[in-house]
Each structure stands twice: as structure tokens, then as C-alpha cells.
Chains A and B, each alone.
Chain A
Amino acid sequence: MTDSKYFTTTKKGEIFELKAELNSDKKEKKKEAVKKVIASMTVGKDVSALFPDVVNCMQTDNLELKKLVYLYLMNYDCEDPNPLIRALAVRTMGCIRVDKITEYLCEPLRKCLKDEDPYVRKTAAVCVAKLHDINAQLVEDQGFLDTLKDLISDSNPMVVANAVAALSEIAESHPNSNLMDLNPQTINKLLTALNECTEWGQIFILDCLANYTPRDDRESQSICERVTPRLSHANSAVVLSAVKVLMKFMEMLPKDLDYYGTLLKKLAPPLVTLLSAEPELQYVALRNINLIVQRRPEILKHEMKVFFVKYNDPIYVKLEKLDIMIRLASQANIAQVLAELKEYATEVDVDFVRKAVRAIGRCAIKVEQSAERCVSTLLDLIQTKVNYVVQEAIVVIKDIFRKYPNKYESVIATLCENLDSLDEPEARAAMIWIVGEYAERIDNADELLESFLEGFHDESTQVQLQLLTAIVKLFLKKPTETQELVQQVLSLATQDSDNPDLRDRGYIYWRLLSTDPVAAKEVVLAEKPLISEETDLIEPTLLEELICHIGTLASVYHKPPSAFVEGSRGVQHKRLPGSTESGESESPDTASAAAVSDAPPAVIPSQGDLLGDLLNLDLTPPTTTGPPPPASSGMQMGAMDLLGGGLDSLIGAGFGAPPAAMPASFSAPVSGGLDDLFDLGGGVGMPMGAYSAPKTVWLPALKAKGLEISGTFARRSGVIQMEMTLTNKAMSVMTDFAIQFNRNSFGLAPAGPLQVLTPLSPNQSIEVTLPLNTVGPVMKMEPLNNLQIRAP
């Protein structure tokens, strides 16, 4: 039977008859009736009078009948002469989240996307995103994405805005598809639409603009000029999106350009205004300002006061403001900042007070001229005897000692008075460090340290390690009075402890002391590298990426979007234009790729601030140096012998060592400082040449125009080396290899240039060894063993 029968008419008023059939009790009859209605519709008959009856049929379990009703509704409304009805129809059709229905949506949607009325087109654009959410394949097959791209050039700004919004949303689930093909023409369209569309549309357009890379500084400037008026918008999201575009495009402007200065000045007021808004807005704004001041501190350098904390600000606003105050602190405003911080340190909220005290210490480290005032402020605070204030103050004073050695020791006496009130591990560890470091000036240093030793096993690892080091320092400074003490702590650490870090460190000291006391002195009492001014700066490449994501969740969490947004894996890392890191556009033969080594995350006990880690030397080595070796019982026996024979002679002039028990790896020259970080990992009982991880592929050929790099780190004769195999998997010869190290957590840097003398022919491999040292600049990275590789 064909559907043609539905077109036959009867004499008795067709509509009347259909109405009766639609209200029939029999399902089959109903279905037939709806089919007839649709048939009539397709030949242009007016069946609108049946609207309520058809809609009634929707209340059924029969899927076919349901579908037919939808079809009726959509066809009817999408043809309506009133654009608002057509728009309502297309809006509603997207809300029917039933996969089976979607194919019926395509034809009406296609019509609406090309509708003469902009309001209908604008609504249809959103509908494409809805449909994509339900059935992505269908949307692609039907060519709706292309239609959507065409709408970016629509004459109506609202349509443009919605098309951009829909495309952006679709692009999220298709990270690598090149949905938005931005070229100067489309950019111009977007900029025109920007002025005339709704506030929400402006956000979508600005966010889309931010993905564009201008061809030159002139284009960059002209876009900036057209975006700047958005800074005066009442909607804070518009303002922040505009800030993002400007911060990014500014990178391309020459700094001596007048306009560059003008732009810098224009950025401050809108950012300040965001801080007078509701606290939730302030929070997001502050997280972003934190990024902005790291990249361009000059923008807000005169605006310190707006970051002063009001006592009834929510805690999350207070803590963010404090962070920015420290970033902006300079010699010019330090007096004001210190006065404020001191005020905050007497507030009620414990977290805030702690952070304020810590901030005072950071000021001292950052602004040398203020160090003395900071120290005296901290002493005042210690006098309040408020427990958590005292503990925080001691932790930061330790940092100040690290930055300005031998300058403020006069305060040690005051600190020692508070020894008994310290109950937090960090404060105890800090105090112990101070006592150890200045043992020669503290008369009763041995008593003080001994008092901690009583409850050694109840202390946290941090305190135990610190106590071990401090007592060894004390011993090296005052060997005659403290031999018993050092024996005690070494035996506590090596025999009674289950903690491999503590045990390893105990053994190292032990052997050092027993083999070569001079070397021990050199290592343990070595001059420590000064701590850097700002320890919590975001790593530059990450900062660049985050600047490109101002206003997004990534900017709130200070993490790259790929790290946390679901379904966006493989997101392209955004880079600021014109900066050194983004060589792609300027030199086409430079391929850039980032490869993360396959090694499991490094076993770093504390992911806290680097400052603490450096001081404590708590770092276990990165896994690339090899897993911590199992401590064999045989070794422990050997250590026992040491205790018997070794220590006695320790005190004697010779410091004679029992060489038989010395593992070979410790004969490696130790240059002090950070190097012993790596030594710790060598571990007990390691044979010469130690374990090194097998090479893993760091850079697959696909990502680097045919150059494959695999490699590993190893220690050979006490020198850290990077061993690489370079393989040319491309068709042409490769030459001119070079290597550059980003700043990293371990200060690793090449000790010499990369030596690849011969050109690398296709399919040829070459083994390269690059000696490394650890005197490079130190910069905290997360994860610590992340490896970025750039190949020629």
C-alpha cells in the first residue's frame, strides 16, 4: 500500500473527518489520520485547524505516531509567516533529545539556517549546537558545520555572535578540527559584529578573536584599537575577555610605540573596577590579575591600595588580594604594605593571619631594603605569643636567614624562647634548621637539639630529617662535646626507622663522617645557594599559555586547560604571538613539539613550595635516576660494624674509614650544594655506574618532521648525563643540531654543547651523550619531570 491513498478526498468536509479520526480510540486509525494530515500539509493544504487534535496524539507510547506528530509540528511552525514562530519552532525542535527524531529535524533546520529573517537564523545557529550534542555525525554529514561557518559572515551581528558561540561549543568536543578558519576578512566581520551584538555575543566573539594570530604589528594594533571600547562595558565578562585579547595582541606591538604605552594605561582602570564588584566576581578577577601582574607588572604597579583587604571580605578574596600585594610590593610602597600586613596579622581568621605573616617574610626576601623592618615586625608578632603567629613567623625567619646569611642572628635568642610552644612540624623543622645552622653561636645548641631527640620517632619525617642534619652540623662545628648526640641520632635514623629517606640520609652522613671528615664538612656545611626572590612564579611557558586563556576556568585554576577540562584532551597549547617560544610562524622549518616522558610521576614527597623543599633537601630523586634501592639486610650489618669501629675513630684525629664497607658510588666527587640531591638517589649498595632507566621515546618522529629522539638520564663517573639516540626517519639529511634546556626544578643545564658533528642521513641513528650540571637556573615545574623537546 502506498501513501498516495492519504491524498484522496471525500465530499463531507475533509477537516471534519480527519478530526474525528484523530480522536479515535484505535491507535491504527489515529496513525493513519496523522499521516493523512501530513500528506495534506505537503501539498499545501491548510490543516492548522487540526493543531490541538494532532498535539493530543502525542500522548502515546507508539514511537512512530510520536514521530509523525513532531513532523507535523515542525513543518507547520517552520513555515509560519511570523519569524518569531519559526524561531520558536526551531528552538523547540532542538530540545527534543531523542536520537531517532533528529533526522526529521534536518530539513526544517536547513531551511531556518537560510531563513530571510535574522532572528530565525540566529536561533537556528544554536540549534545546530544542540543537534551536534545529540548526534555529531549527523550534523557533519548534513553539512551543517559549513553552513554555520558561512553564518560568521552574516550581515546581522546577532547571527554572527550565535554562530561563533555554536562553533566554539562544537569545537570543544573536536579539539583538532579546524572549525574556525580565522582570516583577516572574518576577523573584520567579527569586529564589526562586536560593536552591535548583545553583551553575551560580545563575550563569544572576543573569545574567538583571541584565537587569532595577527599577521603583523599593524594588524595587531588595529584590532586592539577596535577592542578597547569593550573595556567600558558594564558586563565584567566582556571586560575580561577584552583584556585577554589586548594582553595577547600587545605582545606583537613594539614597546617604543606610543600606542603601546597608551594601551598599558587603559588596562588598569577596568581591572581596578572589577574589584569593586561582588565578591564572586572579584575572586575570578583577582585570579586573573595574578597572572597579569606576573606577565606585565607595570600595568598595576600604582594600584597597590585597591588590593588592601577589607575586614569583611570573604576569605577567598582576602587570600588572593594578599598574593597580589606581595607581587606588587616594591621599594616604593613597601612601608605601606608592611603596615597593612601587620594589621592583618592581628585579625581573627587563622588562615588569613598565617598567610599575612608569611607575606611579611616574602617582602623581606623580595625587597632587600625592607628586610630589617620586616624582621622587627616579625619579632613584634612573636611577642604577641599567639601560637600560630609565632610558628609562622619562625618559618619565614628561617627563609630570611637563607636570603641574608649572617645578618639577623641577633634575633635567635628570642626565637629560642619560643621553642616549647612549637607544635607544627614545619615550624619545628624551621627552628631546628636555625639551631643547626647557627650552632656555633648558640651556647646550648646541643641541649636544644637533644630536647627534640627524646620523641624522635613521634616527629614527622620533615622534623626527623632536619634534626639529623642539624645534629650533624652541630657535630662538625663542635665535635668534642657532641659525639654522643650524633651517635644517638645516627642510630635512631638508620636502625630504628622504617623511613628509607631518613635511613639513607643517615647512612650518607655516617659514611661521610667516617671516610672523609673534610669532605663531610664541605658537603654538610657548604655555602648554600641563595633562595630566589619569588618562589611561586608560574613557569613562563605555562604563564604564556594562561595569558591566552584569561577569563576561563584555566585562569582560575592556573593550570593549562588540557590538564583538567573533560573531553578536551589534545587541546592545542596556545602561545603568545611574537614571543621567542613560538617559532612556528616565523621560521617554517622549525618544528616544535612537546613530548612528555613516559616515566611515571616523580616521587616527590612534598608538592608544596620549592623554597621549603630546597631547604629541607627532602627531595627523593626523580625516577629517571632510578628507583630507591631496597636496603638489604647485609648492608645493615655493614652499617652496624661502622657503628662499632667507625665512630670511635671518628672522634680521633684520623677519621679513619672502614673502606671495605664503603659502597663505591660514594667515592664519586661531591661538589656540595644541590648535587647531593642526586647522590641521595644513588642509594646504598649501588654498584659503580649505577642503574639508569632504559631509553624511552621522548619525541616521536611524527611530531617533529621525522626526527625521533629517545633517551634517558644516567650518572657515569659521578657526572649526570643525558644519553640520547637521535634517529632520522625523514627523507632528507638533518644537520645543525642544538639543544636548549628550559629552566627546571633541578637546575639541570647542559655542561657543554650538543656534539653531533656529522649530518644525519635518512634512517641513520646516532648516539649522543650530553654531560649535564646542576648550576642552571632553578624554576619550579609541575610535574617535575615534564620534558619539553624542540628539535630542528
Chain B
Amino acid sequence: MIHSLFLINASGDIFLEKHWKSVVSRSVCDYFFEAQERATEPENVPPVIPTPHHYLISVLRHHIYFVAVIQSEVPPLFVIEFLHRVVDTFQDYFGVCTEAAIKDNVVVVYELLEEMLDNGFPLATESNILKELIKPPTILRTMVNTITGSTNVGEQLPTGQLSVVPWRRTGVKYTNNEAYFDVVEEIDAIIDKSGSTITAEIQGVIDACVKLTGMPDLTLSFMNPRLLDDVSFHPCVRFKRWEAERILSFIPPDGNFRLLSYHVSSQNLVAIPVYVKHNITFREGSSQGRFDLTLGPKQTMGKAVESVLVSSQLPRGVLNANLNPSQGTYTFDPVTKLLTWDVGKINPQKLPSLKGTMSLQAGASKPDENPTINIQFKIQQMAISGLKVNRLDMYGEKYKPFKGIKYMTKAGKFQVRT
């Protein structure tokens, strides 16, 4: 099982270590540092690194490497999933998962890690149970603790661990009972030079924020459940009911949780909400290159495309770019060669464009690589797959909750080749 955990920052300092069994010397991280040196980019460090006596399995999140040390055959995905859970828990507790936040809350961090694993076996990884055991720090509580010398360790015992619904606390009470569901879809796509779609797929999630008194039993049904043929559920969802009736039936955890994630594959027809017209050219023998980019909406069902951000890694030979945006602002970093254009909202009547010239090193030959354009955007009130919730019902409790459903579409890895 998981022996130890090291947290390593971008400059290669180990700033926290935790051992669940015997202590493993931090010199084991030297193998990680070697791999880090070989990697051209921070994200290129391989996730599984063998050493003579251990294996290092790591994830990179928020510019911190979470490096787990294992000694025997342990499923790597098990370790990676656990590390993700650690990251999520830190974010949940401290709002952000940064080196500073972790250092500021080092006691809580240790308490959490101690509760999450016992001898390398996962113990309490559900946020609900952890929060019963260890209260998240607040400014007030930190002050009180400093004055009175008390700690964050909960007085209560985690009764949830004994129940048949371990994800839910007992005795939950709210004056305002509400249940919100966000259907969020990310569209991943590769568009080729000519504008045709090479591949496009949708990663969807339904995130919930449920604040309901007692032990509510919810059902959620869809207008078009047929879309959901590749789904992953929160453990609270009753799988049999879904198989038989295509209805989500569950006793929800208290607070925020991911109810469902789904995938609409490239074999289905996926609508592409934006198009790009581009003309990025270099001529042999000239020290100038042309840059011409125009964005436009398509297949958005009349909804506005907002928060548009375009970025592109220009060829290494480009010294500078002198461009003129019709709206928004652009920056070009001459060191990393990264061009970013913060477009904002697309107005279908007046399409945003970015035009101008790029200067090349004098006498250098024409760059070989064609830059890829990365686009981020958001569309409110629409799920691009067409998924729609039909109704949400509550059983087991008598009060009337307030219910709300929101839809949003975002760009995931949305890339246009030139």
C-alpha cells in the first residue's frame, strides 16, 4: 500500500513529507529529481518512476508534485486516484491548494493525511466524514485556537463511518432546504486546417450542491437519457434503477459533490460552437510573417459565446508580433513565444479579429512547424450535447425544497490546426 507522501514544489524543494509506515528517507526523491531534470516541461515528468527499492507515483496539480512512495505491487491508478482525493480535500479545506496554504495549515494537513490512510489503506476519504473529524480552518477558529490552545480535531466521532450510507452525515438540519444541479459540458475537439472536425467529444458532469434536512431520497430523470451511454456515478446512485429505468435515484451526500460524469464519444455527431478563419503564413526569404485570425459562432442555438480566450504557441523563430485586435487585448511573450488574446464575448454582427505581422529573425529560414490555436470559451444555459433534465423529485422528507438546474458548455481541449 502507500508508504509515504512527499510534496515537492516547482523549484524542487520537498516541503512536506508524511509516512504511514516506517520512514522512507527523502533521498528516494532524488530519482524523481533526475526524471524532472530530463523532462523538458514540468508536466512531462513520467507519472510512474522505478527506483531500486520503491516506486514513485506522482501527480502534478497546482504546480505541486504529489509524490507517493510504494514498495509492493499496488495498482498505480489506486495511488493516483488517492492523490487526487488528497488534492481535492486540501482545496476543499483551504480554498486553494498552494504551497503557502499547505504550510499555513500544516497541522490540519497532517491530521487529514492521518485520517485518510491507515497503514497505507484508505480510511476516510469522503469530505463529509473528514469534516466531522477535522473542522476546516476559518479565520475565527484559527484565532480562537491560538488563544485557547484548542485544535481543529472534532469533538464528535465520525458516526457516518458506521452507517450504510457512509457518504451522508446524520442529523443534517437546514432552515432553507435547497438542491442545485449544474450540468457542465466540456467539448474537446481537434479542427484541421480546412475547418473540418477531425475529432470532437464531450465530457459532461452533473455537479450538485444539496442542502437538505434529514435523509432525503431524490430521483432525477432526463428528457433524453439515451445520450448517456457512457457514465460514471457517485457511489450514492442506485445502479440497478438506472439500468432498468434510466432514472437517477440516490440519497445525496450533504453539500457539494459530483453526482455523475458522462462522455459523449466522437462517434456521435458533436456540434461545434465556434469557427476560426485563419491565415498564418511565412514566406521564404522574408523576415515578416502574416497573422490573420477571425472568430465566429456556429451551432450555438442562439446563445452567446463568452469569455473567449485564444492562445497559440508561435514558432521559435518569431521574434515579435505586431497585431491589431478588433476587440479585447492581446499579449505576446517573446521568451516563451506564447500569444494570448483575451477576446471576451463574440458579437455575431461584428466578428472579432486579430490581424497584423510577425517579425522573424533576419536571414532565418521559414519556420517548419505550424502553430496550433487553442480556444477557450463558455456558453451559458446550454448543454451542447442537448442533454436536458426532466424532473427532480424528493421522497422520505415532508418539506418542499427549492430546486434549481443550470446548464453550461465550456471548451475543454479545443484545438484548431493551421
Contact = CB atoms under 8 A, between A and B. Distances in A.
Contact of A123 (B118, B188, B243): B118
Interface string A298-310: 0000110110101
A162 B121 contact: yes
Contacts of A386: 368
A361 interface: no
Contact of A554 (B73, B158, B239, B263): B73
A283 B369 CA distance: 26
B47 interface: yes
Contacts of A82: 157
A229 to B, nearest CB: 5
A386 B316 CA distance: 15
B234 to A, nearest CB: 6
Contacts of B71: 566
B199 A269 contact: no
Contacts of B121: 126, 129, 162, 165-166, 200
A316 interface: yes
Contacts of B1: 165, 169
A232 B231 contact: yes
B22 A279 contact: no
A64 to B, nearest CB: 24
Interface in A252-294: 269-270, 272-273, 276, 278-281, 283-285
Nearest to A207: B75
B350 interface: no
Nearest to B75: A551
Interface of B: prevailing SS: mixed
Interface in A365-391: 384, 386
Contacts of B377: none
B300 interface: no
A133 to B, nearest CB: 7
Interface in B112-149: 118-119, 121-122, 125
With most chain A CB atoms within 10 A of its CB, the pick from B59, B81, B316 is: B81
B245 interface: no
Contacts of B11: none
A424 B190 CA distance: 34
Contact of A310 (B158, B190, B316): B190
B75 A203 contact: yes
B46 A316 contact: yes
Given A199-B235, A272-B263, A308-B190, A564 B75 contact: no
A94 B119 contact: yes
Interface in B1-56: 1, 21-22, 39-41, 43-44, 46-48, 50, 53, 55
Nearest to B157: A84
Contacts of B82: 200
Nearest to B266: A305
B158 A280 contact: no
A447 interface: no
A561 B74 CA distance: 11
A236 B77 contact: yes
A281 B80 contact: yes
Nearest to B237: A232
B357 to A, nearest CB: 22
Nearest to A120: B162
A83 B162 contact: yes
Given A165-B121, A269-B265, A552-B73, A203 B233 contact: no
A696 B369 CA distance: 58
Contacts of B21: 97, 133
Contact of B77 (A85, A118, A240): A240
Contact of B417 (A95, A169, A173, A343): A343
B394 to A, nearest CB: 23
Contacts of A117: 162
A314 B44 contact: yes
Given A272-B265, A308-B199, A340-B198, A278 B75 contact: no
B47 A316 contact: yes
Contact of A311 (B40, B162, B415): B415
- Interface bin, chain B: 35 or more
Contacts of A123: 118
A327 interface: no
A196 B240 CA distance: 13
Contact of B265 (A169, A229, A281, A303): A303
B185 to A, nearest CB: 12
Interface string B279-294: 0000000000000000
Nearest to B189: A310
B374 interface: yes
Nearest to A269: B230
B72 A305 contact: no
B362 to A, nearest CB: 20
B239 A232 contact: yes
A232 B368 contact: no
A237 interface: yes
Contact of A553 (B53, B74, B258): B74
A129 B119 contact: yes
A273 B158 contact: no
A278 B412 CA distance: 12
A518 interface: no
Contacts of A229: 239, 243
Interface string A216-250: 00000000000001001111110111000000000
Given A82-B157, A198-B122, A310-B190, A280 B80 contact: yes
Contact of B58 (A166, A280, A343): A280
B410 to A, nearest CB: 14
Interface in A92-123: 94-95, 97, 117-119, 123
A95 B21 CA distance: 8
B61 to A, nearest CB: 8
A43 interface: no
Interface in A132-146: 133
A31 interface: no
Nearest to B61: A278
Given A97-B22, A278-B84, A306-B266, A552 B75 contact: yes
Contacts of B390: none
Contact of B198 (A233, A269, A305, A316): A305
B75 A240 contact: yes
A312 interface: yes
A554 B267 CA distance: 32
Contact of A126 (B55, B118, B233, B235): B118
Interface in A671-730: none
A553 B78 CA distance: 11
Contacts of B239: 229, 232
B258 A272 contact: no
Interface string B336-374: 000000000000000000000000000000001110101
B320 interface: no
A17 interface: no
Contacts of A283: 46-48
Interface string B191-213: 01000001101010000000000
Contacts of A551: 75-77
Contacts of B162: 83-84, 117-119
Contacts of B265: 269, 272, 303, 306
Given A270-B230, A303-B267, A305-B199, 16 more contacts: A83-B162, A91-B118, A94-B119, A169-B72, A233-B233, A236-B77, A269-B230, A276-B188, A276-B201, A316-B44, A316-B47, A336-B198, A339-B192, A551-B75, A552-B76, A553-B55
Interface of A: 82-85, 91, 94-95, 97, 117-119, 123, 126-127, 129-130, 133, 162, 165-166, 169, 172-173, 196, 198-200, 203, 207, 229, 232-237, 239-241, 269-270, 272-273, 276, 278-281, 283-285, 302-303, 305-306, 308, 310-312, 314-316, 336, 339-340, 343, 346-349, 384, 386, 551-554, 556-557, 561, 564-568
8 contacts: A85-B157, A127-B119, A237-B77, A270-B232, A280-B58, A283-B48, A315-B39, A384-B368
| List of 4 A-B pairs having minimum Cβ-Cβ separation, nearest first | A269-B230, A237-B77, A280-B47, A305-B199
